[in-house]
Amino acid sequence: MDNRFATAFVIACVLSLISTIYMAASIGTDFWYEYRSPVQENSSDLNKSIWDEFISDEADEKTYNDALFRYNGTVGLWRRCITIPKNMHWYSPPERTESFDVVTKCVSFTLTEQFMEKFVDPGNHNSGIDLLRTYLWRCQFLLPFVSLGLMCFGALIGLCACICRSLYPTIATGILH
């Protein structure tokens, strides 16, 4: 076997391995976007109603975006999270102390939420469907898997470069990576 083809194979394998690790990390990332706003006071009625709306099955984009913005939320590929006070007292809010305890609560996106329509004005169903946002939202969970498939395809081409002893699969591997 010629050394240049073995070198091409090793380079293709190393690049595929690095890319696979990167994609696995991006698939497992908890959030793509994070809102930052001041921590809200413990107004128990407001906290309870926002949490109830946030976890409900009928939560539309406007409902959970408001909660994400108000309570330092994060939006990920698989779930959305908000940070709320740990103790939501029904009788009266406790005094705010230096160690104001907060907890992060997360809700996974359901399949119907993954494919819901996005509107030009979030929450206003009469504003018309924003096609670009709708289809980007629907396809976002496929993109890491497509990238992972392309990386495996690149590794296969690198293997073919060694077996076939041709420079063309090696060039294709370089283009894919």
Domain range for 33 is 3-176
Instruction: Note the pLDDT of residue 103.
Output: 78
Total length of the chain: 177
pLDDT score at 40: 57
CA separation for the pair 164, 5 (Å, rounded): 9
Is 91's pLDDT higher than 60?
no
3-state secondary structure of 79: strand
Q: Which residues, in sequence order, are CB contacts of 26 under 8 Å at separation 6+?
A: 144
pLDDT of residue 101: 73
pLDDT of residue 60: 76
pLDDT tens, residue by residue, 143-153: 677 777 777 77
* Average confidence score pLDDT of the chain: 71
Mean of pLDDT values over 49-55: 76
Beta bridge partners of 83: 104
The count of domains in the chain is 1
pLDDT for 116: 80
Give the residue-averaged pLDDT of 17-25: 72
pLDDT for 100 equals: 61
